[in-house]
């Protein structure tokens, strides 16, 4: 029994550390949007899942090369020791993305190009600031919001644009705002985790507000996400069951945010917090059955 538990924990850790888990989160969030707009987005879910797997592993490889001191911690030490695996996963993830591209509309490809450029600039140092090259993640104040913007573009805007074209009506803007706020909220715990590793010039939420202040700030974004979901319900875009599903997921998110500490185990962040994406998608999927 102990051997079985050990193997399960090992495979679970490997799935989380290799970014397979967060890739499933991206696929689930895209699928959630499809469920809510009443469109089949399975191919988009596969695309965003594999694209996330490629992007995150690529960023990890760049970070390990650019900031070798990151390899000292538990998770990053695992990443450092498994650099070859990350490279293989990146290549394998890129293949289905390339195969799925012909299924995307020209508007979707334009949107993906923009989000892809942001993701590249986020990881690779291109911008000369204060006498040295910096990536977007190094620029003061913007790290958190770039992440949320890219996630909202890929998991909300992409399914809508693919099926409805480029629209900027109230329903779209509220959906986008709801997801953007949700991603900001569940990304702030990672700022808390990385407060000691991030350069002070980045001015992350945890550096500016401290751990407690950052938790409260994250809860503000949870409230903003719930406000957007409530507006979607009031305007008859969400059913009452859709709204309840989102609300439950946000309450659970708030509980995890309240428990966030810099000394928490790594699996709390990359396992539980990232898993909120999958949880919300499952709850929303259940809500459409009523």
The domains of the chain, with CATH numbers, are 2-287 (1.10.600)
Residues contacting 233, CB < 8 A, separation 6+: 239, 240, 242, 243
Helix axes of 275-287 and 170-193: crossing angle, nearest 10 degrees: 150
Q: What are the distances in angstroms from CA 211 to CA 64, 145, 188, 205?
A: 26, 18, 10, 9
Write the DSSP assignment of 175-219 as a string of letters.
HHHHHHHHHHHHHHHHHHHTTTTS-GGG--HHHHHHHHHHHHHHH
131: three-class secondary structure by DSSP: coil
Q: Determine the Cα–Cα distance for residues 230 and 247; give it in Å rounded to an integer.
A: 9
128: three-class secondary structure by DSSP: strand
Closest CA to 26 of 133, 119, 110: 119
Residue 177, pLDDT score: 98
133: three-class secondary structure by DSSP: strand
Number of Cβ atoms within 10 Å of the Cβ of 157: 24
Q: Determine the Cα–Cα distance for residues 79 and 61; give it in Å rounded to an integer.
A: 8
Q: Determine the Cα–Cα distance for residues 38 and 239; give it in Å rounded to an integer.
A: 13
Residue 140, pLDDT score: 66
Closest CA to 52 of 31, 75, 37, 71: 31
Q: pLDDT of 28-60, one tens digit each?
A: 999 999 999 998 788 999 999 999 999 999 888
Q: pLDDT of 50-103, one tens digit each?
A: 999 999 998 888 777 655 555 555 677 787 888 888 899 999 999 999 999 999
Residues contacting 281, CB < 8 A, separation 6+: 28, 29, 31, 32, 35
Q: Determine the Cα–Cα distance for residues 41 and 34; give it in Å rounded to an integer.
A: 5
Backbone angles phi, psi at 132, to 5 degrees: -150, 160
Closest CA to 181 of 145, 230, 140: 145
Element (H, E) at 158: helix 158-164
pLDDT lower than 70: segments of the chain:
1-7, 65-74, 126-133, 140
């Amino acid at each position: 029994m102990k051997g079985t538990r050990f193997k399960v924990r090992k495979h679970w850790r490997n799935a989380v550390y290799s970014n397979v888990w967060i890739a499933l989160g991206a696929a689930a969030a895209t699928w959630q949007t499809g469920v809510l707009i009443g469109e089949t987005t399975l191919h988009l879910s596969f695309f965003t899942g594999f694209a996330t797997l490629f992007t995150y592993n690529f960023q990890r490889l760049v970070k390990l090369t650019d900031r070798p001191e990151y390899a000292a911690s538990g998770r990053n030490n695992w990443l450092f020791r498994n650099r070859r695996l990350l490279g293989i996963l990146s290549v394998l993830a890129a293949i289905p993305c390339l195969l799925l591209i012909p299924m995307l509309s020209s508007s979707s490809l334009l949107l993906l190009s923009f989000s892809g450029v942001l993701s590249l600039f986020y990881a690779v140092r291109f911008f000369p600031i204060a006498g040295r090259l910096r990536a977007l993640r190094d620029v003061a104040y913007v790290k958190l919001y770039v992440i949320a913007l890219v996630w909202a573009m890929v998991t909300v805007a992409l399914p809508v644009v693919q099926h409805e074209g480029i629209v900027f009506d109230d329903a779209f803007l509220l959906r986008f705002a709801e997801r953007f706020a949700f991603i900001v909220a569940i990304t702030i715990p990672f700022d808390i985790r990385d407060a000691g590793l991030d350069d002070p010039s980045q001015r992350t939420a945890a550096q500016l507000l401290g751990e407690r202040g950052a938790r409260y700030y994250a809860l503000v974004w949870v409230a903003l996400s719930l406000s957007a979901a409530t507006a979607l319900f009031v305007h008859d875009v969400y059913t009452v069951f859709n709204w309840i599903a989102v609300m439950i997921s946000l309450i659970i998110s708030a509980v995890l945010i309240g428990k966030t500490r810099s000394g928490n185990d790594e699996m709390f962040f990359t396992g539980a917090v990232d898993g909120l994406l999958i949880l919300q998608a499952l709850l929303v999927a259940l809500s459409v059955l009523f």
